[in-house]
């Protein structure tokens, strides 16, 4: 394992910590290395495992914390404090040992005697009878992740059937056959299928004759194997496509047909479906798949935060529709309402104000006109000329005055605005209140990474700023404390806790390759869709 893998391990560990309420009580585990060997430390910088392992993967699950380790070419399993659970006896080729979330079981990939073991090392499922060279697992524990009481997790198993010839590297050319088992080793599907896909509460299979079928998680047929239809998942439904006409229909996971096989394409949205007929025109349905409009649009798409839809007619005119199919506003071909309620008309941007609900929803133009405009959720960054940018809300009220050269808005409750001098103000949505000023900002919150004029980076957690470093990366969180990996211009690396205290120092062996290493000098919008907890965290401290 190289330091470039360090980034993915840190982010995986962070995700596991965030998903696990019980795991939040366990101290963080941070990866360190020396002479190409790896170890772990805790949040106090104390050694949990010395640097004598070729690979380490912490699994901080909601049940228990486990550490999968490799030493002297063999794999074993340790508890969260580094005490051995499973001796180092597995070759585990070609991949490291993965943990099956929420089960207490581990997959041991091995050509000869691999299988599934528990945390005591007891073999739960031997795979040697199936000549499996590798295997995967799917659907983990859906009742844990999705709140659904489905069947127990299923393991996807496969074997390679030699075709008689060899590849250039000397390996046998083979074809794969797929099946699956439950976690007790019982065969759910025999290893005979060309393809298996898990789609929500169904299993879609293809046999060697190109026939498709649909099963439930107990391997009971919902749609028996047929050469007429090809099945694939979309959203929480199953699309059925006639393999001759290529027309599609839609059914529920229990086989109930919702839309007949007569559409050229079906696209599902969260509260409707878009249906394309054989004339290449689209219609809109409601959430129960009742058709609400005729097939009259050459394009149909979702608009903005509200459940609104934009339909483009063949003549280039536009309709804005409600979920009922009612047209609340129409625009000529000379307009561009794709950023609705921002509308581009006659070389200017205008805001459309929506009022009412349901069938009584109405729309009207606000009087303000802007040279440029961008939509950010319910806020808009707008410019009155080529130099002066500000922020207005959905009612056209000014939140940030027009005195900045560049503005970016995140959905965690922050506005990033660059002054003419190049300095960046970090502002709150609440009245445009300034929180801090810096020369660059990037990252997610918490923490927010800020730069000084020399381009060095520090972390700001809403109360304080750490010292500035050449590079800085969010490493993890535990017991309401954040941890960061930092390094200086000499590539001396260390970990800093949430109080800015250095808890560990070491040296990087290669050029660092972390998520926020050498972050670019400018704005960064967080990639997550919702950061409500982060916004509350920040507002509480300010």
Q: 396-424: buried (b, 16+ CB within 10 Å) or exposed (e) per residue?
A: eeebbebebebbbbbbbbbbbbbeeeeeb
- Scanning 146-199, the segments in alpha helix (DSSP H) are none
Element (H, E) at 17: helix 4-19
* Mean pLDDT confidence for 493-522: 64
pLDDT band of 477, cuts 50, 70, 90 = confident
Closest C-alpha among 445, 447, 458, 373 to residue 407: 373
Our CA dihedral for 394, 398, 402, 403, rounded to 10 degrees, sits at: -120
Helix/strand/coil percentages in the chain, nearest 5? 5, 50, 45
Give residue-wise pLDDT tens across range 197-254: 877 778 899 999 999 999 988 889 999 999 999 999 888 899 999 999 999 999 998 9
* Mean pLDDT confidence for 40-50: 91
Give residue-wise pLDDT tens across range 350-402: 999 888 765 677 889 999 999 999 888 778 889 988 789 999 988 899 999 99
pLDDT of residue 251: 95
Q: Decide: 130 and 111 in contact? Cβ < 8 Å.
A: no
The two three-digit tokens of residue 15, written as one number: 């995700």
pLDDT band of 539, cuts 50, 70, 90 = very low
Say which residues have a Cβ less than 8 Å from residue 539's Cβ, sequence separation at least 6. 413, 428, 430
- Whether 8 shows a pLDDT value over 60: the answer reads no
Residue 457 β-bridge partners: 451, 469
Residue 315 β-bridge partners: none
CA 247 to chain centre: 31
- Scanning 129-265, the segments in alpha helix (DSSP H) are 142-145
pLDDT of residue 513: 44
Domain residue ranges of the chain, discontinuous segments joined by +? 127-259, 264-369
How far apart, in whole angstroms, are the C-alpha atoms of residue 542 and residue 362?
38
CA 131 to chain centre: 34
Cβ count within 10 A of residue 335: 17
Element (H, E) at 50: strand 47-53
Residue by residue, DSSP assigns 257-290 as: EEEEEEESEEEE-SS-EEEE-TTS-EEEB-TT--
pLDDT band of 290, cuts 50, 70, 90 = very high
Hey, what CATH class is 127-259 in?
Answer: mainly beta
Report if pTM > 0.75: no
Question: Is 264-369 a domain of CATH 2.40.128?
Answer: yes
pLDDT band of 171, cuts 50, 70, 90 = low
Closest C-alpha among 270, 330, 274, 325 to residue 298: 274
- Whether 170 shows a pLDDT value over 70: the answer reads no
Give residue-wise pLDDT tens across range 293-336: 999 999 999 987 678 899 999 999 999 998 889 999 999 999 99
Q: 252-278: buried (b, 16+ CB within 10 Å) or exposed (e) per residue?
A: ebeeeeebebebbebbbbeebbbbbee
pLDDT of residue 227: 94
Alpha-carbon Rg for the chain, nearest whole angstrom, is: 28
How far apart, in whole angstroms, are the C-alpha atoms of residue 282 and residue 275?
5
Element (H, E) at 33: strand 30-34
Helix (H, G, I), strand (E, B) or coil at 97: coil
pLDDT band of 470, cuts 50, 70, 90 = confident
Chain-wide mean pLDDT for the chain? 78
The two beta strands, 195-199 and 248-251, are unpaired
Helix (H, G, I), strand (E, B) or coil at 83: coil
Cβ count within 10 A of residue 220: 7
Q: How many residues does the chain have?
A: 542
Helix (H, G, I), strand (E, B) or coil at 110: coil
- Residue holding tokens 């107990």? 218
CA 298 to chain centre: 31
Higher pLDDT, 171 or 296: 296
How far apart, in whole angstroms, are the C-alpha atoms of residue 32 and residue 495?
9
The two three-digit tokens of residue 5, written as one number: 């893998």
pLDDT of residue 231: 96
Q: Decide: 498 and 481 in contact? Cβ < 8 Å.
A: yes
């Amino acid at each position: 394992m190289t330091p470039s893998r360090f980034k993915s391990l840190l982010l995986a560990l962070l995700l596991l910590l965030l998903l696990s309420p019980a795991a939040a009580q366990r101290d963080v585990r941070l990866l360190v290395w020396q002479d190409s060997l790896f170890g772990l430390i805790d949040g106090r910088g104390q050694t949990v495992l010395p640097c004598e392992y070729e690979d380490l993967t912490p699994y901080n699950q909601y049940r228990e914390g486990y550490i999968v380790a490799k030493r002297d070419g063999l794999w074993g399993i340790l508890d969260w404090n580094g005490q051995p659970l499973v001796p180092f006896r597995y070759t585990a080729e070609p991949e490291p040992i993965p943990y099956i979330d929420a089960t207490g079981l581990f997959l041991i990939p091995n050509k000869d005697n691999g299988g599934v073991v528990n945390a005591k090392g007891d073999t739960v499922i031997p795979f040697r009878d199936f000549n499996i060279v590798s295997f995967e697992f799917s659907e983990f524990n859906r009742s844990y992740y999705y709140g659904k009481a489905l069947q127990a997790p299923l393991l996807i198993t496969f074997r390679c059937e030699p075709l008689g010839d060899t590849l250039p590297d000397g390996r046998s050319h083979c074809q794969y056959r797929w099946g699956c088992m439950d976690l007790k080793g019982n065969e759910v599907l025999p290893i005979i299928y060309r393809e298996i896909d898990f789609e929500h509460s169904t299993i879609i299979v293809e046999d060697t004759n190109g026939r498709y079928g649909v099963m439930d998680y107990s391997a009971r047929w919902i749609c028996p194997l047929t050469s007429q239809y090809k099945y694939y998942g979309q959203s929480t439904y199953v699309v059925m496509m006639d393999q001759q006409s290529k027309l599609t229909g839609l059914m529920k996971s229990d086989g109930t047909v919702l839309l007949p096989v007569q559409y050229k394409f079906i696209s599902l949205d969260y509260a409707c479906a878009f249906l394309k007929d054989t004339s290449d025109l689209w219609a809109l349905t409601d959430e129960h798949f009742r058709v609400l409009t005729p097939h009259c649009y050459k394009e149909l798409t979702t608009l903005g935060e509200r459940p609104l839809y934009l339909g483009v007619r063949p003549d280039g005119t536009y309709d804005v529709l409600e979920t009922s199919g009612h047209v609340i506003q129409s625009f000529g071909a000379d307009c561009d309402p794709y950023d609705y309620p921002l509308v581009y008309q006659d070389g200017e941007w205008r805001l459309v104000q929506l009022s009412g609900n349901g069938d009584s929803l109405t729309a009207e133009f606000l009087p303000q006109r802007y040279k440029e405009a961008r939509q950010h959720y319910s806020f808009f960054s707008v410019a009155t000329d080529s130099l002066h940018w500000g922020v207005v809300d959905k009612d056209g009220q000014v939140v940030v005055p027009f005195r900045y050269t560049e503005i970016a808005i995140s959905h965690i409750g922050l506005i990033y605005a660059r002054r003419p001098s190049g300095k960046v103000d970090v502002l709150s949505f609440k009245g445009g209140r300034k929180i801090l000023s810096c020369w660059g900002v990037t990252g997610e919150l918490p923490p927010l990474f800020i730069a000084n004029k020399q381009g060095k980076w520090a972390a700001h957690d809403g109360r304080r700023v750490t010292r500035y470093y050449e590079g800085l990366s969010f490493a993890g969180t535990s017991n309401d404390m954040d941890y960061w990996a930092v390094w200086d211009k000499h590539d001396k690396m260390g970990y800093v806790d949430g109080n800015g205290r250095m808890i560990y120092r070491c040296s990087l062996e290669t050029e660092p390759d972390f998520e926020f290493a050498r972050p670019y000098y400018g704005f960064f919008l967080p990639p997550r869709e919702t950061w409500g907890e982060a916004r509350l965290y920040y507002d509480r401290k300010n």
